[in-house]
A and B are shown apart, each in its own frame.
Chain A
Amino acid sequence: MESIILQLLNGLDKGSAYALIALGLTLIFGTLGVVNFAHGALFMMGAFIAVTLNMLFGVSFEVEDPTRTDFLGNVMMVDTPYVVYWFGEDFGNWLIDWSVPISVLVAIPVMALIGVAMERGLIRFFYKRPHADQILVTFGLAIVLQEIIKAFYGANPIPTPAPEAFVGSFDVGQLLGFDPFAVMYPYWRLVYFFFAALIIGLVFAFLQFTTFGMVVRAGMADRETVGLLGIDIDKRFVTMFAIAAIVAGLAGVMYTPILSPNYHIGMDFLVLSFVVVVVGGMGSLPGAVAAGFLLGILQSFASMSWIIELIPGINQVVIYLVAIVILLTRPRGLMGRKGVMEE
């Protein structure tokens, strides 16, 4: 039972990342009709915003410490970060320690700018082009972006830890009446799950309860009629692109303590997220979220050792098997609109 609860938590955690990326993907497809293969790169850029802020807070000057020697036997140079020098030991170290959560505040405007630049600078020229063209150009853009990151940050993963307060595991089992230490789960992974739930809730609330969201939903359903009412739907769709970029970026920022980011982290998630969108139903926001969690949980359970023993390799193909079954039996996906992917 403990194993099942742990795998469920793992699944929810993986599913959180899949759902956040798939949510942005499906927002863009639903509003702009663009299949954005550069969406994984937006996740990666979010992760590297956290890396950059962590590095910036860590920029330091060297002072000789005559009491210590380095590996060559020379007098050791001790680093003092500027933030510690400027703001004092307590606040300076707190800034460094909390660099990942603080990056969320930085990522919102930066990702919005990146999103708008991407849409205005490239994507808008492909609205009326076939999906194949859109896929090619956005895939090309993704490769360019990841090569830029590689050139600046190198090819190696860059550890970006969670704040000290979130290091260690929470005894989930005791809450559920199990023995102490029976179901321990890392704090930061729980934080990630609740953060993802909050972001998903905010996006849905925005679309459901604001006039802007109402217009966007109307535009998703019938773009032409909304246009005839004198509403500049394109302007609103640019905003939606920016929101999708912010959601992907925030997903990347908060994921850095779970998996040290490298230049291809976005590409690793992109393929899975597309499968999530297809399974959930192209253009369906609830579908993307539901399929994200569903496939995350399935993948997690498929990694249990007795299942792998029974069907070797199932953990690596389970998502694709589900996608094949769904597409064969229900081409529009679990919650997709009739007609999409059914022609």
Chain B
Amino acid sequence: MSFSKVSRRGVMKAGAATGVALATPTLFTGAVWADGHTGFTNAPGEGSVTLGFNVPQTGAYADEGADELRAYQLAVQHLNGEGDGGMLNTFSERNLDGTGILGRRVEFVTGDTQTNSDAARASARSMIERDGAIMITGGSSSGVAVAVQGLCQDAGVIFMAGLTHANDTTGKDRRANGFRHFFNTEMTGRALAPILEGLYGADRKAYHLTADYNWGWSQERSIRAYTEGLGWETVNSVLTPVGAGDFSSYLTPVANSGADVLILNHYGGDMVNSLTQAVQFGLRDMQANGVDFAVVVPLFSRLMAQGAGSAIANIHGSTNWHWSLSDEGSQAFTRSFGTEYGFPPSQAAHTCYVQTLLYADAVQRAGSFNPCAVVEALEGFEFDGLGNGPTLYRADDHQCFKDVLVVRGKENPENEYDLLEVVEVTPRDAVTYAVDHPDFVEGQLGSCNPGA
């Protein structure tokens, strides 16, 4: 072979071909390809993009739903460059600049889940099919979250879960198109058990009242596993219907059951009623087995505390986030929300606001609204500045791992919002469980579905 046969034109052709070949992977996963790709459900036009906020506006969890909706509206304002920007200013990523998402103004539609899986699926379907929503978010019930997550997977849109605490959401029922920022019952068990041991010792007898649905079962299973791990005995556990209202029939046997701890695996309006009635029946003030009787609320929230009034005094539980946290992100969100609405945000509001920002940022980084590009951008994503310290969206199950708070109801609150005090911030490592944890191992993410 002679070098004389290598022409200058040939070298240039070869160089160009090599360049194209090397650039190809970038081209097909990057913004150039993505922008031109519209083969997915509800690909937005040039002007705007529609998000679907599906929250309980009626029913036992309506308080949470109302606050979630406020947070979503605030997130939309900030994404569109209105207001003070909230946590856009503290988020470790700097891709969102107040010009919407990928240059599209953010619009939204809302639905009422009624805390009912069928109603939630119907409203989510309507938002996807009629209103062209490209992402569905919301919840306040694990049963609803699991149902809507499945629907979004089939429809080919992203589901950014709101308040859903059952293990199943990112365990048995996990889906590739679904993501959860909120913590779960396994994390509650891990965070709460050491505190309970410190407060009440290792020799206690527990009585569980449990909401009879997906979340209640998950909560009871986790808290039982960890309290029994401490050495506590479970005296009895009784399932109660959601929205029972009057829990007196379930509470009266507790006093003479031999138990010295009542664990209320209830949430929302049910928790308000069961905790208030437990106090009315004198359980918080009585003695059993020679010790002070204790009441524990594994999943606590400021909204519930407000509903239960003075009944919360000295009651312990876990929470995803609290407005009194002093980090920059939490303060920015509390200031922004408080200025807009006149009261501090709940943990439900926080998780929903954060989910909206995380979705917008993922689209921005992916350079595409294609659900598969968004899934890729969120999997294994590490971030900070959104209120819970450094956080990881684990790729294996789409669950966020971050610090978990243990809180206590204040005995003498200074004002109507100053109801819970943070007694422990359990670090992320302490609440992180293995991917093959028995409670989660059944689930399969499957593949992302871009839909149309």
A binding-site residues for B, Cβ under 8 Å: 2-3, 6-7, 9-10, 13-14, 68, 70-72, 76, 150, 154-157, 159, 161, 167-169, 181-182, 184-186, 188-189, 258-260, 262, 265, 268, 299-300, 303-305, 308, 315-316
Contacts and interface: CB of A to CB of B under 8 A. Distances in A.
B307 A260 contact: yes
Nearest to B344: A71
B269 interface: yes
Contacts of A169: 280-282
Nearest to B243: A268
Contact of A305 (B253, B286, B309, B324): B253
11 contacts: A2-B255, A14-B249, A72-B334, A155-B66, A156-B307, A157-B272, A167-B280, A184-B255, A186-B277, A305-B238, A308-B238
B307 A159 contact: yes
Contacts of B252: 3, 6-7, 9-10
B179 interface: no
A299 B248 CA distance: 11
A7 B249 contact: yes
Interface in B11-61: 57-59
Contacts of B272: 157, 159, 260
B253 A186 contact: no
A180 to B, nearest CB: 10
B126 interface: no
Given A156-B62, A316-B241, A260 B248 contact: no
B227 interface: no
Given A2-B256, A7-B249, A71-B323, A155 B307 contact: no
Nearest to A299: B249
Given A184-B286, A299-B249, A300-B249, 13 more contacts: A6-B252, A6-B256, A14-B248, A71-B324, A71-B415, A155-B59, A156-B62, A156-B307, A157-B272, A169-B280, A181-B282, A259-B245, A303-B249
Nearest to B62: A155
Contacts of B255: 2, 6, 181, 184
B238 A10 contact: no
Contacts of B343: 71
B256 A157 contact: no
Contacts of A316: 241
Contact of A14 (B236, B246, B415): B246
Interface string B286-308: 11000000000000000000010
B141 to A, nearest CB: 15
A128 to B, nearest CB: 37
A304 B287 CA distance: 22
B238 A168 contact: no
Main secondary structure of the interface of A (DSSP, over half): mixed
Contacts of B414: 68
A100 to B, nearest CB: 14
Would you list the 4 A-B pairs with minimal beta carbon distance, nearest first? A303-B249, A6-B252, A169-B282, A186-B280
B338 interface: yes
B238 A76 contact: no
B274 to A, nearest CB: 11
B63 A156 contact: yes
A71 B339 contact: no
Nearest to B207: A305
A316 B252 CA distance: 17
B250 interface: yes
Contacts of A3: 252-253, 256
B70 interface: no
A6 B269 contact: no
A184 to B, nearest CB: 5
Nearest to A255: B246
A9 B255 CA distance: 15
Contacts of A154: 62, 66
B307 A184 contact: no
B335 A72 contact: yes
Nearest to A186: B280
Contacts of B281: 169, 184-186
A143 to B, nearest CB: 13
A130 B272 CA distance: 43
A230 B335 CA distance: 74
A256 to B, nearest CB: 12
Contacts of B421: none
B173 to A, nearest CB: 24
Given A159-B307, A184-B282, A304 B253 contact: yes
A7 B344 CA distance: 41
A188 B279 CA distance: 13
